[in-house]
Amino acid sequence: MIRRAVAFLWPLWLAGMASAAPLPSLPWKECLRQPAVWYGGPEARRIADNLLLYQLDCGGWPKHVNMAAPLTPEERAKLSRQKGDQSNATIDNGATYTQLRFLALIYGATREPRFHAAFCRGLEFLLTTQYANGGWPQFPYREGYYRHITFNDDAMIGVMDLLREVARGAAPYNFLDGARRAQSAKAVEKGIECILDCQVIVNGKRTVWCAQHDEVTLAPAPARSYELVSLSGSESVGIVCFLMGVEPPPPRVLEAIHAAVAWFDQARLTGLKLVRETDSSKPKGYDLVVVADRKADPLWGRFYEIDTRRPFFCGRDGVKKYRLADIEHERRVGYSWYTSAPAKLLAEDYPAWQAKWSPGRSVLSAR
């Protein structure tokens, strides 16, 4: 009888142990994509408490961290000791404004004061690190190119998207007081003026933007050795899309959008395709090759020469090249040299915006 009971209970015990085992941690990049009810649960609270540990005393956050991963007591103690190191506070690669979006959802679901306080410290970091000219640096407490006004990887646009939502007071930011909303609205206004002032003019015509601009002169500026002064076929898309959200658009915004779209229309690259080819002799097992293809969808270069509108590439040696094949393999496959993002801008976003705000005027060429 005992054996039969054990035989019966053993599978149930195993099932109970399996259900009690800790579930895999949700990756940080998935934390803004959960159903609303999840943000009031224990896993969301645990991750939010991680964010409070990673938040630096200045209010910002570092980048390249899986903030959802469980922390050991030793790791928690180390993070507490490092809070005073503000040099790692950044808006690069989604840092800080992504954490604020998460905390707003958590506070909306829990109403726990510590999450409100952390959000307000982070918001204050964004407001106080904005330059008087309206731009934001990538790393406000570092020297060198980190201090440039940074559109690269949508850093400044990511901040401004958040602040515009805060200013409008829509959920999940409707818990903020009128003063913080007004401050955010003012920061967005200054940011828009900076964007318009940075738009590069070539032969009297407005074009698009560089990925970085000098924080004093607003001139296009270089960053890493392979990121030379250029017109950006990638970051400029996000800038135009942000400007399209200014309603109603004043004349300067109208002209900036039309000019940038006209530039994109003229800068498209046709008849070529970027192909990933298996190559076991390469460190990553593949290479990227540009091939001729008359039927390929249009592409745009990441970098264009300002005066010639000629796409170019660059390796870590800082020497400009005009063929992707001419830079080292590590940079060839380790950076986004081509983009298709302007295609949707030209085919969908601009026509819809133009029909609403500038009927009768389209800068797109007939194709």
Let me know if residue 224 belongs to a domain. Answer: no
Residue 138 CA, distance from chain mean position: 11
Let me know if residue 111 belongs to a domain. Answer: yes
Higher pLDDT, 205 or 367: 205
pLDDT tens, 139-193? Answer: 999 999 999 999 999 999 999 999 999 999 999 999 999 999 999 999 999 999 9
Let me know if residue 253 belongs to a domain. Answer: no
Q: Are 188 and 160 in contact (CB under 8 A)?
A: yes
Percent of the chain with pLDDT over 70: 93
Average pLDDT over residues 23-29: 80
Q: What does the alpha-carbon distance between residue 197 and residue 263 come to, in Å, rounded to a whole number?
A: 17
- 3-state SS, residue 201: strand
Let me know if residue 5 belongs to a domain. Answer: no
Let me know if residue 175 belongs to a domain. Answer: yes
Range of the domain at 70: 26-198
Enumerate the active-site residues.
Answer: 93, 224
Other CB atoms within 10 Å distance of the CB of residue 251: 7
Q: Is a pLDDT exceeding 50 seen at residue 317? A: yes
Let me know if residue 145 belongs to a domain. Answer: yes
Query: Domain holding 84: CATH number?
Result: 1.50.10.20
Q: Is a pLDDT exceeding 60 seen at residue 5? A: no
Let me know if residue 45 belongs to a domain. Answer: yes
Let me know if residue 341 belongs to a domain. Answer: no
Q: Are 67 and 50 in contact (CB under 8 A)?
A: yes
Contacts of 27 by beta carbon, 8 Å cutoff, 6+ apart: 66, 68
Q: Are 210 and 223 in contact (CB under 8 A)?
A: no
- Count of domains forming the chain: 1
